Amino acid sequence: MKWLLIAFACFQLSECLIRMPLHRGKSVRDVLQERGLLKDFLEKHPYNPYSKYVRPIHEDSTDATEPMINYLDLSYFGTISIGTPPQSFTVIFDTGSSNLWVPSGYCSSPPCRNHRRFDPSTSSTFQMSQKYVSIQYGTGSMTGVLGYDTVRVSGIDITHQEFGLSTTEPGTFLYYAKFDGILGLAYPSIASSGATTVFDNMMAQRLVDEPLFAFYLTREGSQSGSEVVFGGVDPNHYTGQIHWVPVTRQGYWQILVDSVKINGQVVACQDGCQAIVDTGTSLLTGPSYAIGTIQRMIGASQQSNGMAIVDCRYLPRMPYVTFTINGVDFPLPPSAYVLQESCTSGFASMSLGGGEELWILGDVFIGEYYSIFDRGTNRVGLARAA
């Protein structure tokens, strides 16, 4: 039976640590408030979902760069438009799912009313389909209808793009999300209701020079600078060699991890393990027994609320955690795997269900390694982020 990764949303400060399971612990907001840090934290990180941070692009550039806002190192989203004339929405560019959907005027659920809603009646290019869509996430869900319209992503106009218009968004999880919808960039095989993905249409309509896209994620709370490039890579955002890893299963961007080491000792994935590279997951997650070992070895103490706390005073003495992938070591320094604003571990245990023990290399990993997703040869490229 097909299952979907839990979509991630950001609450008022950010209760979006990862694609959370159904029962949640305390949020980052709660922890900061308990420690008396919330006011200063919010002052340092003002939020404006429609800000644009554009770097200069050479006139002869043929790829399309979409700036993204980094919200507290926990979520990354950019702006797209749908319809004629265009209606703007903020979306998560998510390599862990495949559907594009936004709230619609057909929806009266509180989460819809709290976000921008697409009004099909004002778009001269909108066409309704006869298909319905339903996506169940771990802490929220949406149901809706599928329609077609022109979608603009970073100056690229994708005509007759299939997308979801939510008609219900039950519960409160999506109410506080700092984005309107989700733009999935995984393989079409996991698209709900068989909807055609945005990047498949980009390729079919010959709107990108190369069948790949690449992510650069800023860290340490820097709002500006993050970007996704469609149809190419940005050499300014990585150093050294790009190491290519074959995709092992064309659903999520799934690859094989050879091992996980600390101080030269293999602590997980002794016989290799499957992992997905996922821009829509904030942390780096794995099976509970393996993550428990890592937490102990980095000195993190598990709290009753499910979070793992570290003493940031010992950051310089904490070990590197090294992921060996396709024979190449990708070390994560403590500065990458510790969320220093809250002094919490960037590792978390999570079972995805379905009998699979998949690791998720989320934003904690991608922030350290520029990540290229190549649909042409079904491989992932990793290089040290600059």
Q: Are 17 and 348 in contact (CB under 8 A)?
A: yes
Q: Are 154 and 214 in contact (CB under 8 A)?
A: no
Nearest CA among 267, 304, 288 for reference residue 347: 288
Give the separation between CA 329 and CA 231, rounded to whole angstroms: 27
Domain boundaries, the chain: 47-230, 235-385
Give the separation between CA 320 and CA 283, rounded to whole angstroms: 16
SS3 category, 43: helix
E strands present in 97-191: 100-103, 127-136, 141-153, 156-168, 181-184
Nearest CA among 235, 49, 80, 212 for reference residue 152: 80
| Topology adopted by domain 47-230 | Cathepsin D, subunit A; domain 1 (2.40.70)
Kindly state the helix (H) or strand (E) to which residue 215 belongs, with its residue range. Answer: strand 212-216
User: Is 94 a residue of the active site?
Assistant: yes
Nearest CA among 119, 120, 162, 169 for reference residue 141: 169
pLDDT in tens, 284-305: 999 999 999 999 999 999 887 7
DSSP assignment of 64-107: EEEEEEEETTTEEEEEEEETTTTEEEEEEEETT---EEEEBTT-
Q: Is 169 left (phi over 0), alpha (psi -120 to 50) or beta?
A: beta
Tokens for 255, please give them: 């690859």
Give the separation between CA 78 and CA 348, rounded to whole angstroms: 26
- pLDDT confidence tier of residue 11, bands split at 50, 70 and 90: very low
What pLDDT score was predicted for residue 171?
81
Backbone torsions φ then ψ of 172, nearest 5 degrees: -115, -5
User: Is 278 a residue of the active site?
Assistant: yes
Query: By mean pLDDT, which of 35-44, 103-112, 126-135 is the weakest?
Result: 35-44
Tokens for 74, please give them: 């926990």
Q: Do domains 47-230 and 235-385 have the same CATH topology?
A: yes
- Name the residue with higher pLDDT: 28 or 178: 178
Residue type, 211: P
What pLDDT score was predicted for residue 27?
42
What pLDDT score was predicted for residue 355?
58
Query: By mean pLDDT, which of 32-41, 189-198, 242-251 is the weakest?
Result: 32-41
What pLDDT score was predicted for residue 45?
44
In DSSP terms, which residues pair with 363 in a beta bridge?
none
pLDDT in tens, 339-380: 988 999 999 998 665 556 899 999 999 999 999 999 999 999
In DSSP terms, which residues pair with 127 in a beta bridge?
148
Q: Is pLDDT at 326 greater than 70 in this prediction?
A: yes
Q: Is pLDDT at 258 greater than 90 in this prediction?
A: yes
Give the separation between CA 40 and CA 54, rounded to whole angstroms: 27
pLDDT in tens, 49-60: 333 222 333 333
Nearest CA among 269, 284, 294 for reference residue 350: 284
Residue of 94, 180, 234, 363 marked catalytic: 94
Give the separation between CA 128 and CA 161, rounded to whole angstroms: 11
Tokens for 322, please give them: 């090294």
Residue of 149, 258, 278, 374 marked catalytic: 278
What pLDDT score was predicted for residue 338?
96
Residue type, 266: V
What pLDDT score was predicted for residue 30?
47
Tokens for 148, please give them: 């077609």
Cβ-based neighbours of 375, under 8 Å, separated by 6 or more: 199, 203, 211, 212
| Topology adopted by domain 235-385 | Cathepsin D, subunit A; domain 1 (2.40.70)
Backbone torsions φ then ψ of 8, nearest 5 degrees: -110, 140
Q: Is pLDDT at 199 greater than 80 in this prediction?
A: yes
What pLDDT score was predicted for residue 37?
54
Give the separation between CA 209 and CA 202, rounded to whole angstroms: 10
